[in-house]
Amino acid sequence: MRLFRTVSILLFIGTAFVVSASAQKTRPRKAQPAKPPVSKTVAPLDVRTAREKVEIQRSNTSRFIDVLGPIAQEIENTTETARRQNLPRETVERNEQNKRRVIAAIRNLRVGIATLESDFRTRSSLRRYLPNLQGVTDLVASSEDLALAGKFVAAKDPLRDVLKKLTDTLNVMPQ
């Protein structure tokens, strides 16, 4: 009986080693069919240059929105404070000068974006991307109108829409 128990334990231990050893064997893999190399098509030169122009205007608009935020808030706060109480003349003049600078900056931004939209309208190779970009000049003009009305904080909203349209245009254009 004792011999039977010892043999069965040894047999059990030996079986465990055989099972674990067979689990570690590597089996040969089937050969995968070779994939042909992916050839990337290059967009035409005018599409690539237009894409660079869109990226530049997107960068300019994004930077302008980031800079405009604190300045617009300061302009509106100073204007409101000037209405309620008497501020030093230098402060009021500096605020008016800041207003003129922001409006001039929006106009300069509009010139660049209008040129970009015009390029997309006039070049036949870029017309298929025009629906994504169409109307950005009008959005910048509405931002300028809001700034002229003294609503500098609200003037950022149309510029955010411009930024979105520029990003959408970049997403559909080939690289």
Q: What separation in angstroms does the CA of 76 have from each of 29, 92, 103, 115?
A: 71, 12, 14, 31
pLDDT in tens, 106-126: 999 999 999 999 999 999 999
Give pLDDT, residue 157.
95
Give pLDDT, residue 117.
95
pLDDT in tens, 54-87: 999 999 999 999 999 899 999 999 999 988 888 8
For 123, phi then psi, to 5°, come to -90, 125
At what angle are helices 136-148 and 156-172 packed, to 10 degrees? 170
- Residue 13: which pLDDT band, with cuts at 50, 70 and 90? low
Find the mean pLDDT for residues 7-22. Answer: 57
pLDDT in tens, 82-108: 888 888 999 999 999 999 999 999 999
